[in-house]
Amino acid sequence: AAQQEKELKLLVRPDGNRLFSNLTRGNHYLVQAEGYLNNSGSGQTSEMALIWNRTLPGGSEISFLFLEPYRSGSCSGYMSCLACLSDQSCGWCPSLSRCLLRDSLDLEYCPETEMVEGKGDSQRHLLLAPQHCTLCEDYRDCSACTQDPYCEWQINSSKKGDFQCSRRGRLEGSIRDSNGCPKVCNQRNTCSECLSNSSQCAWCESAQACFYFAAYLTKYPYGECRDWYDSVHSVPQCKQCSALNTCTECLRTFQCGWCGDYNNPTIGKCLRGDWAGMDDPSVYNCSVAVAEARAANPEPQTSAPPRPLEMEMEMEIFDDEEKDAVWSYPTCPDVEECRLGLHNCHPFATCINTPTSYECHCERGYTGDGTLHCNQTCYNECREGQCSGSPRFECECSLGWTSDPATLVLSGVECDVDCGCNFHSTCITAPGICDECQDWTTGPHCEHCRPGSFGSALAGGGGCVPCECNGHGDPLQGYCHNLTGQCYCTHNTQGPHCESCLPGYYGDPRNNGTCYRQCQGRSVLLSSTSSSTIPLSSSLGWRSGTEGKGGLSHCLWVLSVTEKLGPCKPKQLCPPVALTLHPDSHTYCKNSYVYVFDGLPRFLPNGVVRSDHNLIGAFCGTTRTQPITVEATSGVISVYFEANVSSNKPQGFNASFWVRRCQQSSDEDEEGSAVCAGGAQCQGGLCRCPQGSGGPYCDRPMCPQDCGATEERGVCNVSLGVCVCSESWSGSDCSVLRDPNSLTWETLLDTQLTMKQAHRFLHRMGHSLVAGPQGNLWMYGGLSLSDGILGNVYRYSLSEHRWTQMLTSSVDESATPSARYHHAAALLNTYDLDSGSHDGGHSLMLVVGGITQSGVAMDTWSLNLSSLVWREHKSSVLPPVAGHTLTVRWDSSVLLIGGYSPENGFNHHLLEFNPDSGNWTIVPHTGTPPTGLYGHSAVYHEQTDAIYVFGGYRFHVETVEPSGELYSLYYPNLTWSLLVPSQGKKPLSRFFHAAALIKDTMVIVGGRTEAEDYSNSVSLYQINCNTWIHPVSVVGDPVNRSVSLAMTTWGGRLFLSGGFNGVTLGRLLTLTVPSDPCAVLPTPEACNTTTGSCVWCRGTCTSSDAAERIGCLLGHSTCSPTPRLPDIPGKEYA
């Protein structure tokens, strides 16, 4: 093919020799070149040329300049023009279609045209050039093409004009006989015949004629052919009305109409026709077509009645005998789907015929779309309401609507009668009688807005809207204006919605927030007998910006419940005043305090307030998370705030007060109505806690859930208001099964719950608590905010749950120990110090140092717990100390560590007390001792014969700062070691905490840490493993967050008392610690990653030495089950 690349081949003789053996001039060779046509069907010609190498690179074509034309002298054998002209001795006669000799003695004539009988032409008209030959491509009709023996007519083509004549052999199935040629266009009678095997014919639908498409404009110059088709310009598809199966499809096609059954128009045929009627040669009339359609598709058996005989528009009944068939041309006849059963309505739905379709409506008592769903609903219509649904299916009327039973049966409508309540109430009895007004309305017909709302309650009036006063509207005035909604503000607020504070107050009163009275200068509030000018509750506080003015800021605020600035008189109604400090208070304990007095404070000559018996609270801190409440009972409460505002740190406090006065209700049945805060009730003009509740706001139940007494989980101690749980139960209400693997807190006495004056002595801090014989706890000393420094001795009986004040005497009646706090005490079981003989083993409580009224003490006293006689042991080596520790070793030695006094500074000596001689000595010690310490803790561990000292204020690198270090003092050689945990983290720095020893575990509770001003966290130190454990959960109510609390051990349990967190506390608790401290870690993750000394073993957390014994630990245990002795003095324990 022409588009294919030319192929070059070297010509050789059949035997392989060179084609031209002798290239000298005069030698002649006959070359016959044969070529084979590529039968690809493309219809293109093939070319062939001879190339010789000559002398030019690439060769050159052998043209007529180098070849001698072929002459055979015989021409009659050539049957085609091109074959004839390949012989130079021949010429082609087109009129005779013969090859004749050009030059011969007997010349044959070749006329120009075909010879007509009787006429001749003596001239010769031969074709001598190949380009003058008539080729197959030159024939334009099938007949002429097929008469040429070398040509054939190609028919299978998809493009207009591709019908062509080509050399024979190019395409399978081509026509080679003129009898097989297709008809010309105007001889084709049908559309399908017109468009088959021809791209040059077109079918005119309106004229029903086939024409040559190229002659369209000449044949139909005025557009008489309205609708034509051909195989190129239109969809090659002849229109067949009979192929359309529905009336809708039929009428969309030009000159097609629908012959349909009269009773069921869906049965029928699509035939040729128009407005005049059917015009289809294939069918005689409509009835025959319908009969054929009915026979081809038998109608399904239905119970449909026959169609009423009626004449409808656009339908033509042909004659009286043909009422079974109808011809439709402009529009399809209406199909009565409902009558014929051709619908898909739900079984519980009714079918309704429409002009073009049908509709399905669910029957009465059902609802849905009518086809897929018809779900059961109320039988009657719920006009102003909704159906209740399954299983009752009854109408539920909207508010303000009811039904009339008299008209219900006829109308089938419910909820259509107005109640006459402005649509704010039901009227079950009868219309006009409103049951209960809703939507903030009131009145016989709910026509007014209730107090606390505003707007119009009438129907169509917009309704009543609750007052938006942020919880500060005045209930006596209805909270807000009943038409405008303007709030009547209380609680020191102002604005349309009480959204801002009055001048002199600060805070954010929105969303029930508080406006605090700015405490500045001196403010006094007095009560009046004629009218209660003092609000029963309000808030005050002080808030700084970043003034940076320097110096101190003072404010004094005094409230008196009487007309005069003084305490209540005897037999005068004197309501207590409760003041709650909120946790968002923010003051720095080193320079800012909020002091609260029960009465008027006394001032020093320089105007500064001083501590006295009226002080009931001293608050500071920045990390408080819970509110704390104090109560003044004298009739006067004073708040004094002193702040150092020299720094730019913002600070202040927020507090609320509540006067427990109330107005007795006239109706005795309403006593204790909502005039008292919390759970208090009004009794005799005062808000009091009802039986079974306690706390500042009477919101804490005493003996909650009756301690599970019916299940024998515990019993209620009525006088103390706490539950005494049985051995198997724990928790404040004895509802938690006692778990030996948990930290369990139990409250023995909570003075804030009972609020009894008899328990006031328990409120103290910086006191001592030791466990004596027969299960008795001995408490001595301490500081009370109201009573000052304390010096009495109290004993608590664990079996009787009772405190007793012990009357003591002194060997030297002229000298008794001074009241003190931040002293140290220890229990000694020793010989009688007078005779030196053992008379049954006296138990002594040794008391050393502390802070007294006259300063820091330097004395030593022992109290015989049997005879209750004090004895002083004088010493010249004991310095004045406070905040130190006493540690007993085997009842034969007492070691004093640390301590401080303003006069002498830190105590750097290690002092030892000999119970036998009653003397103190300074003992030498080595290693790495703490350089100065107070407010720390110390415990003695018998197995390792060492004292473990933790925390406190430490003098280090010329600064004093809280310490989180743990030191050990090995007694045999008095060597100090700084213990770095072998695994896990160190605890936070902590001071003024409490510590005690349970078996091999040191327990640290409370104190002040670097993260909390007042803490109640518990840390456990495993002595044998040298690791710390920090429990993640506890059972029961833990100890209050506090500092300077006291703790001792008895019977495997810890007992804690007192402390300070702004007020001196009087609570007594017990803490039970598991024998294996690792057991407090509840999950495998916490157990295996927290300390490194605990292993998750058989569903619980176990110390590694115990896990090693039961086969859970594969490696070597990090804990030492036996006492450890240091190999080298001063070496840290591993």
261 and 209 in a single domain? The answer is no
Rounded mean pLDDT of 785-794?
A: 91
More confident residue, 621 or 1069: 1069
Question: Is the model's pLDDT at 1117 over the cut of 80?
Answer: no
If pLDDT is split at 50, 70 and 90, which confidence band does 608 have?
Answer: low
Q: Render pLDDT for 704-723 as a digit per residue (tens, 0 to 9).
A: 889 999 999 999 888 888 88
Domain end: 661, 684, 718, which one?
A: 661
525 and 650 in a single domain? The answer is yes
- State phi, psi for 193 to the nearest 5 degrees: -70, -35
247 and 149 in a single domain? The answer is no
Does residue 474 sit within a domain? no
615 and 584 in a single domain? The answer is yes
- Residue 2's pLDDT is 40
- Residue 212's pLDDT is 82
Does residue 419 sit within a domain? no
* Percent of the chain surpassing pLDDT 70: 85
Distance, CA of 523 to chain centre: 50
600 and 727 in a single domain? The answer is no
- Residue 869's pLDDT is 95
263 and 143 in a single domain? The answer is no
Separation of alpha carbons 412 and 418, rounded Å = 17
Q: How many domains does the chain have?
A: 5
Which of 180-189, 415-424, 999-1008, 1121-1130 shows the lowest per-residue confidence on average (mean pLDDT)?
1121-1130
266 and 325 in a single domain? The answer is yes
Which tokens belong to 630?
Answer: 């104090």
Question: Environment class of residue 1071 by beta-carbon count within 10 Å: exposed (0-12), middle (13-18) or buried (19+)?
Answer: buried
Separation of alpha carbons 65 and 832, rounded Å = 157
Which of 662-666, 908-912, 1122-1126 shows the lowest per-residue confidence on average (mean pLDDT)?
1122-1126
Does residue 259 sit within a domain? yes
Domain end: 610, 638, 661, which one?
A: 661
If pLDDT is split at 50, 70 and 90, which confidence band does 531 have?
Answer: very low
Does residue 802 sit within a domain? no
536 and 646 in a single domain? The answer is yes
Q: Cis bond leading into 333, ω under 30°?
A: no
581 and 612 in a single domain? The answer is yes
Q: Render pLDDT for 414-440 as a digit per residue (tens, 0 to 9).
A: 999 999 999 999 999 999 999 999 999
Does residue 916 sit within a domain? no
535 and 602 in a single domain? The answer is yes
Residues 6+ apart with CB under 8 A from 36: none
318 and 250 in a single domain? The answer is yes
List own/partner pairs for 546-549 with CB under 8 A and 24 or more apart: 546/648, 546/649, 546/650, 547/645, 548/645, 548/646, 548/648, 549/645, 549/646
- Residue 108's pLDDT is 80
587: domain CATH number? 2.60.120.290
Q: Partners of 947 in the beta sheet?
A: 940, 969
Separation of alpha carbons 1070 and 1021, rounded Å = 19
Does residue 904 sit within a domain? no
Per DSSP, 226 falls in state -
- Residue 820's pLDDT is 96
Question: Is the model's pLDDT at 940 over the cut of 90?
Answer: yes
If pLDDT is split at 50, 70 and 90, which confidence band does 158 have?
Answer: low
Does residue 969 sit within a domain? no
Rounded mean pLDDT of 324-343?
A: 88
Burial 732-753 (b: 16+ CB within 10 A, else e): bbbbbebeebbbbbbbbbbbbb
Separation of alpha carbons 35 and 466, rounded Å = 108
- State phi, psi for 879 to the nearest 5 degrees: -80, 165
* Percent of the chain surpassing pLDDT 90: 35
Which tokens belong to 105?
Answer: 């003695």
- Residue 722's pLDDT is 87
- First-to-final CA distance of the chain: 98
Mean pLDDT of the chain: 83
Q: Determine the 3-state secondary structure of 337 from DSSP.
A: helix
Question: Is the model's pLDDT at 566 over the cut of 50?
Answer: yes
543 and 615 in a single domain? The answer is yes
Does residue 128 sit within a domain? no
Other C-beta atoms closer than 10 Å to the C-beta of 568 total 17
Residues 6+ apart with CB under 8 A from 727: 738
Q: Where are the beta strands (DSSP E) in 773-810?
A: 776-780, 783-784, 788-789, 793-797, 802-806, 809-810
Structural domain of 172: 138-180
